[in-house]
Amino acid sequence: MVIERKIIEENLKNTSIAEYLAKYLERAGYGGVDIKRSPLGTRIIVKVETPGLVIGRKGRSIRELTKDLGETFNIENPQIEVEEIKNPELNANVMAHRTASDLERGYHHRRTAYKILRKIMDTGAKGAEIVISGKLSGGRSRTVRFTTGHLKKCGEPAQRLVDRGYSIAKLKLGVMGVTVKIMPSDVILPDEVYLIEEKEDKGEDTSIKEEAKKEIKKEPKEVKKETKKEPKEAKKEIKKEPKEVKEE
């Protein structure tokens, strides 16, 4: 039970750190965090759209962030590393934050959802889904779902291969929740089968066949020449033999 309690406490601390960073780094385009603990200290890798806002001038803001994390969460020797997101359109947290910000500006939920889905699919994603819940129109709250492409819903591939992101939009009517799911383009599903074509071997086989055909064509010509020479030599020998007999 002691080990189980430690695991639960570590997971709770990780979720609280992720929530704190999502609020603190909202302007920088927060995309996720990886926490790795070691005897030397805790290594925190922050994925951000614009790393310059996290580092600040001469590293001032990142030093303040490490100090706040160490004091609030009792982390020994925290080491923060900033990683830039190469394709922000394929990051679920970034796209969820964008949809929430568009909703806060006053855009219609259907228009924003289709716009974000178009951006995700243009970058090469296999599938995407956006779920918006809250008081969309009227006094009652409801949930709207927008999907495109192919997306795994259940099983081990859905947990391992699908990226999930969540954000909140604060409006006058109330709070709206935005959930985004993205299946990237480089994902290999377990039911996908690819056949490898051996192009080089086919080229070698055709060259060998062509050489064999040339050799077969050359052989009968040589045989014909030999067959024509043989009877002439035989006739000359037959004519010479009787002359020698007469002289004796």
How confident is the model over 209-224, as a mean pLDDT? 57
- Give the DSSP H or E segment for 137: none
Residue pair 88/94 in contact (Cβ under 8 Å)? The answer is yes
For the domain made up of 89-183, give the CATH fold: Ribosomal protein S3 C-terminal domain (3.30.1140)
Bridge-based pairing of strands 42-48 and 78-84 is: parallel
Nearest to 113 by CA among 88, 145, 91: 145
pLDDT tens for each residue of 82-116: 988 888 999 999 999 999 999 999 899 999 999 99
pLDDT of residue 53: 87
- Residue among 108, 186, 84 nearest 116 (CA): 108
Identify the pLDDT of residue 205: 55
Its pTM surpasses 0.75:
no
If DSSP codes are grouped into helix, strand and coil, which group holds residue 26?
Answer: coil
pLDDT(219) > 80: no
Cα–Cα distance measured from residue 87 to residue 184, given in angstroms and rounded to the nearest whole number: 10
Task: Using the CB atoms, write b or e for 44-56: b if 16+ within 10 Å.
Answer: bebbbbebeebbe
Tell me what pLDDT residue 215 has: 63
Residues 155-212: pLDDT tens digits?
A: 888 888 999 999 999 988 889 999 999 999 888 888 878 788 776 654 555 566 666 6
- Of 29, 45, 31, 32, which Cα lies nearest the Cα of 78? 45
* pLDDT (0 to 100) of residue 246: 43
- Report d(CA 80, CA 206) in Å as an integer: 60
> Of all helices (H) and strands (E), which one includes residue 223?
helix 199-247
Question: Which residues are 180's β-sheet partners?
Answer: 130, 165
Fold entry, domain 2-85: GMP Synthetase; Chain A, domain 3 (3.30.300)
